[in-house]
Amino acid sequence: MRADVLQDRKGIHVKLDKETHAQLRTKCFQYGLSMQEVFEEFARQLATDEFRAVRIVENLVSRKVQAQLDGEPRRKRRRSQGVGELDQDTLYNLISEENSVPSGSASGGRNEAA
């Protein structure tokens, strides 16, 4: 039996550009970490709403929305998407909600001590 089944783990497959993969591998090597460790830590931080990880995802969403508004072509998709992309109004609503967080809680309740 596979070890990951016994450890209650789920596997994922991520495709990266060759250059990005090489640079990531180099950085991981410099820090003495595996790519598995880096991705798992980022996933843990995002899953627990840690401020820095959430900001990375929010910035990615903003860039994606801006690219769509600028008319940049979407990346080619080899298979059907399954769940469709969020429509433009939904994305704007999500961004607006995030920006309307009361001033007393700038992180929206997220853990900023990451």
Average pLDDT of every residue of the chain: 78
CA 27-52-12 angle, 5° bins: 60
Give residue-wise pLDDT tens across range 18-37: 999 999 999 999 999 999 99
- Asked whether residue 47 carries a pLDDT value surpassing 70, the answer given is yes
- Give the Cα separation of 47 and 109 in Å (integer): 14
CA 113 to chain centre: 19
pLDDT in tens, 56-110: 999 999 999 998 888 877 665 444 444 445 566 666 667 777 776 665 544 444 4
pLDDT tier, 9 (very low <50, low <70, confident <90, very high otherwise): confident
Please tell me whether the overall predicted TM-score, pTM, comes out greater than 0.85 for this model: no
What's the Cα-to-Cα distance from 21 to each of 15, 18, 41, 50, 110, rounded to whole Å?
Answer: 9, 5, 17, 25, 30
What is the pLDDT at residue 13?
87
Is the pLDDT at 54 greater than 80, yes or no? yes
Residue type, 44: R
Backbone angles phi, psi at 105, to 5 degrees: -135, 75
Share of the chain above pLDDT 70, in %: 62
Q: Bridge partners of 50?
A: 111
- Whether residue 53 contacts residue 114, with contact meaning beta carbons closer than 8 Å, is answered with yes
**Hey, what amino acid is at 70?**
D
